[in-house]
Amino acid sequence: MMETSTPSPEFPMRANLLLSLAAVLVACENEPLGGDDAVERSAEERVLDRAMAFQGDGFVEVSAEMVPSRAVAGLILEWVTADAWSAFAQVSPDVTGSGVVLPDDSLIVRAVHDEEGALSKYTVAWFPPGGGALEDIFFLVADPDWAVMTVDGVRQAGSLSTCQGCHAAREDDGWVFGVPR
């Protein structure tokens, strides 16, 4: 009997918490449905988050020093997610037909520098789980501050045909060129 008549001191706080939770839920429900666009954007955010951590524990630095790019004027450095390293290490830009397939969720960061060694941009490739096709690869280009770049009005994030153009030649090598040399 005593128990029911003594109000729990926690109660008002709990009630407040529930009210703010309810407010958040209502706010979420009022968000417009995003469709494909929203899906693409959140993938972009996730790729950016992971790519920006390229100097952390989850990555292996591929190249000890900058080497000239075979694709663009400039010098490159690369990092791959730790899980992808053993597969990536078997791929060389000089050889095709390694038969290597990168593990699901692999992410590669290439830092492109000018001839003087100043960072000009990052290019990223993410291999989504369950997707083995060239079109499944999420490509991204970011400026040195990790802002996604736009080229000729096209935001450089997603299944980009410009990137596919060259990487298509690497079909038998996990769609990548491998350890720069």
Q: Per CB under 6 A, does 48 bind ligand HEC?
A: no
**Can you spell out the DSSP letters for 80-138?**
EEGGGHHHHTT--TT-------PPTT-EEEEEEE-TTS-EEEEEEEE--TT--SGGG-E
Here the tokens at position 12 are: 């008002």
Query: What single-letter amino acid sits at 140?
Result: L
Q: Scanning residues 113 to 152, which ones bind ligand HEC (CB under 6 A)?
A: 123-125, 139-141
Q: How far is the CB of 38 from ligand HEC (least distance, A)?
A: 22
Q: How far is the CB of 176 from ligand HEC (least distance, A)?
A: 3
Q: Per CB under 6 A, does 157 bind ligand HEC?
A: no
Q: Among 23-31, 33-41, 44-52, 161-169, which window interacts with ligand HEC (CB under 6 A)? A: 161-169
Buried b (16+ CB within 10 A) or exposed e, 67-96: eebeeeebbbbbbbbebbbebbeebeeeee
Compare residues 50 and 167 and give the one whose CB is closer to ligand HEC: 167
Positions touching ligand HEC (CB under 6 A) are: 69-71, 76, 78, 93, 108, 110, 123-125, 139-141, 156, 160, 162-163, 165-167, 176-178, 180
